[in-house]
Amino acid sequence: MNKGLVLACLLLGLSACAPHTGGIMISSTGEVRVDNGSFHSDVDVSAVTTQAEAGFLRARGTIISKSPKDQRLQYKFTWYDINGATVEDEGVSWKSLKLHGKQQMQVTALSPNATAVRCELYVREAISN
């Protein structure tokens, strides 16, 4: 009985964290991953493009609200080198964004160094403390 109770508490604890970790990822190579279908019904992300800029890459993507209500979101770009390793990912924090109903907003980022060849844009619901 104790094992069942412990397992139930563990599963309940994990499910409480799930809504804050899932969202949408779209890469500059065209890959799309949706981890939270409910969130995706309210928010979408257009294609992420990159452009060379003074030896670095500039990424652009548009976050789109499909809901008539205001939404508080977070986003971040993660950069990868030619071998698929993350480039200076430590210290990159989520940025906050508020979208009004049906609003679209372009977000941009500059790669941290010249070794980056692609990126991924992650969008999720804002975590409220």
Question: Does a structural domain hold residue 111?
Answer: yes
Looking up residue 118, the CATH number of its domain turns out to be 2.60.40.3230
The per-residue pLDDT for range 12-53, each reduced to its tens digit, is 444 444 444 589 999 999 999 999 999 999 999 999 999 999
Tell me the pTM. 0.80
For 79, the domain range is 22-125
The per-residue pLDDT for range 97-124, each reduced to its tens digit, is 999 999 999 999 999 999 999 999 999 9
Question: Does a structural domain hold residue 65?
Answer: yes
What DSSP letter does each residue of the chain carry, written as one string? -HHHHHHHHHHHHHHHHHHHH-EEEEETTS-EEES-HHHHTTEEE---EEEEETTEEEEEEEEEE-SSS-EEEEEEEEEE-TTS-BSS-TT---EEEEE-TT-EEEEEEE-SSTT--EEEEEEEEPPP-
